[in-house]
Amino acid sequence: AMIALQIVATQGSKIGWGSPVTLGLAAVGVVFGWLFIRTETRVRSPFVNFKLFRNTTYTGATISNFLLNGTAGILIVSMLLLQLGGGMTAQEAGLMTLGYAITILLFIRVGEKLLQRFGPRRPMIWGCLIVAFSILLLLPTNLMLSSYKVLVITSFAFFGLGLGFYATPSTDAALSNLPSDQAGAGAGIYKMASSLGASFGVAISAAIFTALSAGENVQWIEDVITFVGRQDNVVVREAALVALIFNLLLIAAAIVSIALTVPRAKAVPQPA
């Protein structure tokens, strides 16, 4: 089911969204996904214990984790934009994301301190908002390359900062609300949500970018935004803009998930 859905997400634009192959793969994904859930809810020792999702806090934290990791799509989109639209090499473009790795390592412990002081809800939302801000910094694809490179470097520094704020409070919100005998299974599903979110986020973002960049200019974007500098790469810049907006919508959905399911818990008492 997952393979079928991945093919639809990544190759649907090439095969054709209305083609029998795409529709057939989508049907296979839905049918076998339903069979998997139906089977797992009936066996004595399921591979995935769906009863865990009766816990709303765990469910909300896991869904927001899936969605936030989906924003990994901004990596592939920004790298393709810099290389195809800006003429940079893969190495040059990759070095501009270095701040992401640095800040996430530096601030992962800050998330732990925020959890102790405020509980999980607020740091999770703060982390999502910082990630949203990092995506907003990438949206001005109409700028000159020299200006946009500054935004990219700044953006990925904030991207790592937001993930650092979010990670520990989210894990705590998900797993601390489960009985001890379900913690192992819960941790596995939570981690799987991270991997699946990143996988689907990258696949869908790349599919949006590829589909739009291979077509003609998006007229409604050009009616609203003026693209300065080179005009031969406008379609690539427009494709990146739409793909980045998709990632911004993922963040909005993650914040809604947190707001609806993670309670305003009391902060964890700090040791004297």
Residue-wise pLDDT for 141-200, tens only, equals 999 999 999 999 999 999 999 999 999 999 998 888 787 777 787 888 888 888 889 988
pLDDT of residue 46: 66
Question: Tokens 């050009």 sit at which residue?
Answer: 222
pLDDT of residue 47: 63
3-state secondary structure string across 205-218: HHHHHHHHHCCCCC
- Which residues fall within 8 angstroms of residue 177, CB to CB, at 6 or more apart? 55, 57, 58
Q: Domain residues of the chain, as ranges?
A: 1-47, 51-261
User: What b-and-e string marks burial along 28-64, b requiring 16 or more CB atoms within 10 Å of the CB?
Assistant: bbeeeeeebeeeeeeeeeeeebeebeebebbbbbbbb
Sign of the alpha-carbon dihedral angle for 248, 252, 258, 264: positive
Residue 101 reports pLDDT greater than 80: yes
Average confidence score pLDDT of the chain: 86
Residue 32 reports pLDDT greater than 60: yes
How many Å apart are CA 259 and CA 245, to the nearest integer? 21
Phi, psi of 182 (to 5 degrees): -110, 0
Q: In CATH, what number does 51-261 get?
A: 1.20.1250.20
How many Å apart are CA 195 and CA 84, to the nearest integer? 27
Residue 258 reports pLDDT greater than 90: yes
> In which band, very low, low, confident or very high, does the pLDDT at 12 lie, cut at 50, 70 and 90?
low
Closest CA to 163 of 137, 188, 198: 198
**Cβ atoms of residues 112 and 104 within 8 Å:** no
